[in-house]
Amino acid sequence: MQCPNCQNDLVEIPTLEGPQLDVCPSQHGVWLDMGEVNLFVENYRALEEATKRAAAPAVGTPLSKCPRCGDPLDPESVLETHLFACPACHGWWLPRGSLTHLNATARGSAAPIRFNETEFYTKAEKKRSMSGPMDSKGDRGQSRTAPRSQEVWAWTLFFGGALLLACFILFAGIRKSVATAHWAQAPDATLLYLALGVMGGMGLSVYGFVMNNRKHLIESIPTCPIRSLAVGLVEVSGHAQPEGDLLRAPFSGMPCVLFSYTVEERRGSGKDARWETIAKGTSPEPFFVQDTTGKVLVVPFDAQLILPDNRTTRNNWLGTLPEQTILGLLKLGIAVDGWLGEKTIRCSEACILPEETVYVLGTAQENRGAADSTENSARLYIGSSRDNEFIISDRSEKDLLSRLRWQVFAFLTGGPALALLCLLLIFKTYGTAVR
């Protein structure tokens, strides 16, 4: 929309009174759509009466066209205030000072309406100088300011150039080292471990970035009421409920709606003894998440489970496993007896209990088999998708973020520190310059 006086783009300013106000940044006036003026005057009934009586045109500089619909504006005088009205869309153009005068003339309610018109013009001027081409009311909510490509390119060239220069310096340093250094001692197993340490440190850094992305993803999606879920990536929180009968956790027999387990066996002996994972899995049965607005089905296939409370059972000092654990292992098809007696086995399980608070971040999809229904419990389910994360946790979003924050901190500081330390040790121990 453009100012009828100077044809500059009008700037949208939020106001405490409610509507976004269209203001000329050159301080020529403000535009009010039909009805909006009522929010700036206390006695809007008096204004309404006065508007009906406003017949005699005021003396004023004729203006060209309505910012909203382009029709010619009619000069009018309402409550001794000079303004311009559009006969088509019934909006008003109030020259500078007219809105304040109208507010002062139409006083009288118990709730005072006070504002500073000068402040609107100051904000409009500031907003115009900050952001360049103005977005009008017609674009509100739909527009996305495009990145300023010139600035992005300038920074890209700057950092690209700096990185290139740094690479040249690094390359020069490597050449100098290679030309002038020799091995202070022959490469041995320690060098290999240090090299692995460097790679491990870099791997930890990469993992830290992955954790950081996951943290940002969880932070950037608001929790959605289940009643109004839309198809796509969603985040819900509520109480877990079974779809059918309750499940039984494999090793403890605890009734639950979801369980995951890991079975490890001790193999080898003496210094070579180690725990090897021989089985792991998650219950495939879907379950419901219910909040105060409704419930939705969650299909846990391919979900990343964050269930920190693990229960672990293992052989006692006599080398025997609890009976419940043996039954669970046999159900899973895992033999407990080795050729020297019972195997040394460690079983971990985690589960989500009925009515336990659960957090789910996943992709809401249409349930194709469901009958046509308005209820999300029938129409949609939350499951995995190739493009999005799928996380199920018995922790709240706040706890999850707190854990992730610590993990990100640990990996992003520890990883580079380890890599740098190992690199320095390699150079210090194995490389020395000769002149």
Partner 1 sequence: MNGTLLVGIVLVFGIAGIIIYAVGIYNTLVRLSNNIDKAWSNIDVILRQRHDELPKLVDVCNSYMKHERETLEGVTKARSACIRGASVDDKAKAENELTTALGKLFAVAEQYPDLKANQEFLNMQQRISALESTIADRREFYNDSVNLYNIRIEQIPAIWVAQQTGYRARPLLTVAQSDREDVRLAFANRAA
Interacting residue ranges for partner 1, rule: CB under 8 A: 12, 14, 17-20, 33, 35, 38-39, 131, 137-142, 144-148, 151-152, 155, 159, 162-163, 165-167, 169-174, 176-177, 180, 209, 212-213, 216-217, 219-222, 224-225, 227-228, 230, 232, 293, 374, 416, 420, 423-424, 427-428, 431, 433
Distance separating alpha carbons of residues 205 and 109, to the nearest angstrom: 63
Distance separating alpha carbons of residues 258 and 243, to the nearest angstrom: 11
Specify whether the CB–CB gap between 352 and 258 falls below 8 A. yes
Residue pointed to by tokens 């103005």: 134
- Specify the residue, 8 or 429, whose C-beta has the smaller distance to partner 1: 429
CB of 15 to partner 1, least distance (A): 10
- Specify the residue, 153 or 275, whose C-beta has the smaller distance to partner 1: 153
- Specify the residue, 144 or 271, whose C-beta has the smaller distance to partner 1: 144
Distance separating alpha carbons of residues 99 and 117, to the nearest angstrom: 7
Encoded tokens for 57: 């045109």
CB of 343 to partner 1, least distance (A): 46
CB of 206 to partner 1, least distance (A): 10
CB of 417 to partner 1, least distance (A): 12
- Specify the residue, 39 or 327, whose C-beta has the smaller distance to partner 1: 39
CB of 44 to partner 1, least distance (A): 10
- Specify the residue, 185 or 277, whose C-beta has the smaller distance to partner 1: 185
CB of 27 to partner 1, least distance (A): 22
Distance separating alpha carbons of residues 394 and 256, to the nearest angstrom: 12
CB of 138 to partner 1, least distance (A): 4
- Specify the residue, 116 or 374, whose C-beta has the smaller distance to partner 1: 374
Distant-in-sequence, close-in-space partners of 133: CB < 8 Å, separation ≥ 6: 9
- Specify the residue, 24 or 321, whose C-beta has the smaller distance to partner 1: 24
- Specify the residue, 293 or 315, whose C-beta has the smaller distance to partner 1: 293
CB of 29 to partner 1, least distance (A): 19
